[in-house]
Amino acid sequence: MNFLTVGHRGLMGVEPENTVRSFLRAEGEGLDQIELDLHLSKDGALVVMHDAEVDRTTDGTGRIGDLTLDALRELDAGQGERVPVLEEVLNAVTGPIQAEIKDVAAARVLAELLRERDEVGRVSVISFHDEALRAVHELLPQSHRVLVAGELGRDLVPRALAVGARMVSLELPHLSLDVVLRCRDAGLAVIAWTVNTPQELELAHALRLDGIVTDVPSIGAGGRCVRSPDGPDGGPDGGS
Protein backbone atom coordinates (compact mmCIF):
# COMPACT_ATOMS: atom_id res chain seq x y z
CA MET A 1 0.00 0.00 0.00
CA ASN A 2 1.10 3.60 -0.51
CA PHE A 3 2.44 5.65 2.37
CA LEU A 4 0.16 8.65 2.98
CA THR A 5 1.73 12.14 3.01
CA VAL A 6 -0.26 15.01 4.48
CA GLY A 7 0.59 18.70 4.22
CA HIS A 8 0.29 20.31 7.66
CA ARG A 9 -1.78 23.51 7.37
CA GLY A 10 -0.78 23.31 3.71
CA LEU A 11 3.01 23.42 3.87
CA MET A 12 3.53 25.76 6.80
CA GLY A 13 7.29 25.28 6.81
CA VAL A 14 7.59 27.23 3.56
CA GLU A 15 4.31 29.15 3.15
CA PRO A 16 1.95 31.13 5.42
CA GLU A 17 0.00 28.46 7.28
CA ASN A 18 -3.68 27.78 6.57
CA THR A 19 -3.78 29.99 3.48
CA VAL A 20 -4.86 29.15 -0.05
CA ARG A 21 -1.26 29.79 -1.13
CA SER A 22 -0.04 27.16 1.33
CA PHE A 23 -2.65 24.60 0.25
CA LEU A 24 -1.87 25.08 -3.44
CA ARG A 25 1.85 24.67 -2.68
CA ALA A 26 1.18 21.36 -0.91
CA GLU A 27 -0.93 20.12 -3.80
CA GLY A 28 1.66 21.27 -6.31
CA GLU A 29 4.40 19.44 -4.42
CA GLY A 30 2.44 16.20 -4.83
CA LEU A 31 1.37 15.51 -1.24
CA ASP A 32 -1.58 13.15 -0.97
CA GLN A 33 -3.75 15.32 1.27
CA ILE A 34 -3.81 18.73 2.88
CA GLU A 35 -4.72 19.39 6.51
CA LEU A 36 -6.43 22.54 7.75
CA ASP A 37 -8.06 23.84 10.93
CA LEU A 38 -11.54 25.25 11.48
CA HIS A 39 -13.13 27.78 13.83
CA LEU A 40 -16.42 29.65 13.59
CA SER A 41 -16.47 33.42 13.09
CA LYS A 42 -18.90 35.60 15.02
CA ASP A 43 -21.37 35.31 12.15
CA GLY A 44 -20.97 31.54 11.73
CA ALA A 45 -18.48 31.21 8.86
CA LEU A 46 -16.08 28.24 8.80
CA VAL A 47 -12.80 30.11 9.14
CA VAL A 48 -9.56 28.31 8.31
CA MET A 49 -7.12 29.07 11.13
CA HIS A 50 -5.33 27.06 13.80
CA ASP A 51 -5.45 29.33 16.85
CA ALA A 52 -8.59 30.64 18.50
CA GLU A 53 -7.02 34.12 18.23
CA VAL A 54 -5.79 35.84 15.09
CA ASP A 55 -2.74 37.44 16.77
CA ARG A 56 -0.03 34.90 15.87
CA THR A 57 -0.76 34.42 12.16
CA THR A 58 -2.20 37.76 11.05
CA ASP A 59 -1.64 41.49 11.57
CA GLY A 60 -4.79 41.71 13.70
CA THR A 61 -5.78 40.94 17.27
CA GLY A 62 -8.70 39.25 18.97
CA ARG A 63 -10.62 36.00 19.05
CA ILE A 64 -12.04 34.56 15.83
CA GLY A 65 -15.38 34.03 17.55
CA ASP A 66 -15.59 37.75 18.34
CA LEU A 67 -14.88 38.87 14.77
CA THR A 68 -17.18 38.88 11.74
CA LEU A 69 -16.07 37.38 8.46
CA ASP A 70 -15.83 40.86 6.95
CA ALA A 71 -13.44 41.91 9.73
CA LEU A 72 -11.36 38.76 9.27
CA ARG A 73 -11.14 39.44 5.53
CA GLU A 74 -9.32 42.69 6.24
CA LEU A 75 -6.41 40.89 7.92
CA ASP A 76 -3.11 39.93 6.28
CA ALA A 77 -2.46 36.24 6.92
CA GLY A 78 1.08 36.41 5.52
CA GLN A 79 2.57 37.59 2.21
CA GLY A 80 -0.68 39.39 1.42
CA GLU A 81 -2.82 36.27 1.81
CA ARG A 82 -6.33 36.66 3.23
CA VAL A 83 -7.85 34.45 5.91
CA PRO A 84 -9.82 31.85 3.92
CA VAL A 85 -13.10 30.11 4.62
CA LEU A 86 -13.49 26.40 3.96
CA GLU A 87 -15.59 26.91 0.83
CA GLU A 88 -12.70 28.78 -0.81
CA VAL A 89 -10.29 25.96 -0.09
CA LEU A 90 -12.71 23.37 -1.46
CA ASN A 91 -12.90 25.41 -4.65
CA ALA A 92 -9.14 26.02 -4.90
CA VAL A 93 -7.73 22.51 -4.48
CA THR A 94 -8.77 19.28 -6.14
CA GLY A 95 -7.39 16.62 -3.81
CA PRO A 96 -8.45 15.17 -0.45
CA ILE A 97 -8.66 17.43 2.59
CA GLN A 98 -8.43 16.78 6.30
CA ALA A 99 -10.57 19.33 8.15
CA GLU A 100 -9.69 19.58 11.82
CA ILE A 101 -12.43 20.88 14.09
CA LYS A 102 -10.83 23.15 16.69
CA ASP A 103 -14.11 24.68 17.85
CA VAL A 104 -16.66 21.99 18.79
CA ALA A 105 -19.47 24.31 17.70
CA ALA A 106 -18.16 24.04 14.13
CA ALA A 107 -19.09 20.34 13.87
CA ARG A 108 -22.71 20.85 12.84
CA VAL A 109 -21.86 23.66 10.40
CA LEU A 110 -19.16 21.53 8.79
CA ALA A 111 -21.44 18.50 8.48
CA GLU A 112 -24.13 20.61 6.80
CA LEU A 113 -21.64 22.14 4.36
CA LEU A 114 -20.18 18.77 3.36
CA ARG A 115 -23.66 17.38 2.78
CA GLU A 116 -24.79 20.39 0.74
CA ARG A 117 -21.67 20.36 -1.44
CA ASP A 118 -21.50 16.57 -1.73
CA GLU A 119 -17.94 16.64 -0.38
CA VAL A 120 -18.29 13.88 2.22
CA GLY A 121 -16.05 11.54 0.27
CA ARG A 122 -13.25 14.09 -0.21
CA VAL A 123 -13.08 15.63 3.26
CA SER A 124 -11.99 13.66 6.32
CA VAL A 125 -13.17 15.18 9.58
CA ILE A 126 -10.48 15.12 12.26
CA SER A 127 -10.36 16.42 15.82
CA PHE A 128 -8.89 16.14 19.31
CA HIS A 129 -12.47 16.57 20.55
CA ASP A 130 -14.47 13.35 20.90
CA GLU A 131 -17.64 15.43 21.16
CA ALA A 132 -17.04 17.00 17.74
CA LEU A 133 -16.38 13.65 16.05
CA ARG A 134 -19.39 12.12 17.76
CA ALA A 135 -21.60 14.92 16.44
CA VAL A 136 -20.30 14.46 12.89
CA HIS A 137 -20.78 10.70 13.22
CA GLU A 138 -24.44 11.25 14.07
CA LEU A 139 -25.02 13.84 11.35
CA LEU A 140 -22.91 12.21 8.62
CA PRO A 141 -22.46 8.52 9.45
CA GLN A 142 -20.80 7.91 6.08
CA SER A 143 -18.05 10.47 6.73
CA HIS A 144 -14.40 9.58 7.31
CA ARG A 145 -13.42 10.46 10.89
CA VAL A 146 -9.97 10.61 12.46
CA LEU A 147 -9.19 10.98 16.16
CA VAL A 148 -6.16 13.19 16.84
CA ALA A 149 -4.45 12.53 20.17
CA GLY A 150 -1.41 13.64 22.10
CA GLU A 151 -2.03 11.36 25.07
CA LEU A 152 -1.64 7.68 24.18
CA GLY A 153 -3.14 5.91 27.19
CA ARG A 154 -5.13 2.68 27.19
CA ASP A 155 -8.31 4.61 26.38
CA LEU A 156 -7.01 5.68 22.95
CA VAL A 157 -8.47 2.76 21.00
CA PRO A 158 -11.86 2.73 22.80
CA ARG A 159 -12.16 6.49 22.22
CA ALA A 160 -11.47 6.13 18.51
CA LEU A 161 -13.92 3.28 18.10
CA ALA A 162 -16.62 5.10 20.07
CA VAL A 163 -16.65 7.99 17.57
CA GLY A 164 -16.51 5.69 14.55
CA ALA A 165 -12.96 6.66 13.57
CA ARG A 166 -11.04 4.63 11.00
CA MET A 167 -7.72 6.25 11.76
CA VAL A 168 -5.79 7.91 14.57
CA SER A 169 -3.30 10.74 14.12
CA LEU A 170 -0.68 10.70 16.88
CA GLU A 171 2.34 12.74 17.94
CA LEU A 172 5.48 10.99 16.71
CA PRO A 173 7.73 11.44 19.79
CA HIS A 174 5.14 9.67 21.95
CA LEU A 175 4.62 6.73 19.62
CA SER A 176 5.79 3.19 20.24
CA LEU A 177 5.34 -0.05 18.37
CA ASP A 178 3.03 -1.24 21.15
CA VAL A 179 0.66 1.67 20.53
CA VAL A 180 0.72 1.07 16.77
CA LEU A 181 -0.04 -2.63 17.19
CA ARG A 182 -2.91 -1.93 19.60
CA CYS A 183 -4.45 0.37 17.02
CA ARG A 184 -3.89 -2.07 14.17
CA ASP A 185 -5.47 -4.92 16.16
CA ALA A 186 -8.61 -2.75 16.39
CA GLY A 187 -8.60 -2.05 12.65
CA LEU A 188 -7.32 1.53 12.98
CA ALA A 189 -4.79 3.05 10.60
CA VAL A 190 -2.07 5.17 12.23
CA ILE A 191 -0.38 8.33 11.00
CA ALA A 192 1.99 10.64 12.91
CA TRP A 193 2.66 14.35 13.25
CA THR A 194 4.75 16.33 12.71
CA VAL A 195 7.50 14.65 10.64
CA ASN A 196 9.98 17.23 9.36
CA THR A 197 13.43 15.59 9.34
CA PRO A 198 14.92 12.50 7.66
CA GLN A 199 15.42 10.97 11.11
CA GLU A 200 11.76 11.42 11.98
CA LEU A 201 10.74 9.94 8.63
CA GLU A 202 13.01 6.96 9.26
CA LEU A 203 11.31 6.42 12.63
CA ALA A 204 7.87 6.61 11.01
CA HIS A 205 8.87 3.87 8.57
CA ALA A 206 10.44 1.78 11.34
CA LEU A 207 7.11 1.91 13.20
CA ARG A 208 5.38 0.86 9.95
CA LEU A 209 2.98 3.78 10.08
CA ASP A 210 0.37 4.36 7.41
CA GLY A 211 1.56 7.90 6.81
CA ILE A 212 2.88 11.19 8.10
CA VAL A 213 1.92 14.83 8.49
CA THR A 214 4.68 17.25 7.48
CA ASP A 215 5.43 20.97 7.22
CA VAL A 216 8.02 20.72 4.46
CA PRO A 217 7.92 19.59 0.81
CA SER A 218 11.22 17.67 0.92
CA ILE A 219 9.93 15.27 3.58
CA GLY A 220 6.57 15.03 1.86
CA ALA A 221 8.22 13.92 -1.37
CA GLY A 222 10.53 11.57 0.51
CA GLY A 223 7.66 9.97 2.37
CA ARG A 224 5.90 8.80 -0.79
CA CYS A 225 7.09 5.24 -0.77
CA VAL A 226 5.64 1.77 -0.47
CA ARG A 227 5.66 -0.07 2.83
CA SER A 228 7.25 -3.48 3.07
CA PRO A 229 5.14 -6.52 2.04
CA ASP A 230 4.91 -7.75 5.63
CA GLY A 231 2.96 -4.60 6.62
CA PRO A 232 -0.79 -4.78 7.22
CA ASP A 233 -3.17 -5.00 4.27
CA GLY A 234 -5.57 -2.22 3.36
CA GLY A 235 -5.08 1.51 3.51
CA PRO A 236 -6.27 4.62 5.29
CA ASP A 237 -9.36 6.47 4.15
CA GLY A 238 -8.37 9.80 5.58
CA GLY A 239 -5.81 11.58 7.66
CA SER A 240 -5.34 13.98 10.43
Q: Residue 44: which region, alpha, beta or left (left: phi > 0; alpha: psi -120 to 50)?
A: left
- Based on the residue annotation, tell me whether 8 is a catalytic residue of this protein: yes
Torsion of CA 200, 201, 203, 204, to 10 degrees: 120
Closest to 170 (Cα-Cα) out of 139, 204, 136: 204
- Based on the residue annotation, tell me whether 50 is a catalytic residue of this protein: yes
Q: Of the listed 39, 50, 137, 174, which one is catalytic? A: 50
Q: Of the listed 8, 129, 137, 144, which one is catalytic? A: 8
* Rounded Cα gap, residues 60 and 73, in angstroms: 11
* Rounded Cα gap, residues 31 and 29, in angstroms: 6
Q: How many CB atoms lie within 10 A of CB 70?
A: 11
Question: Catalytic amino acids?
Answer: 8, 50
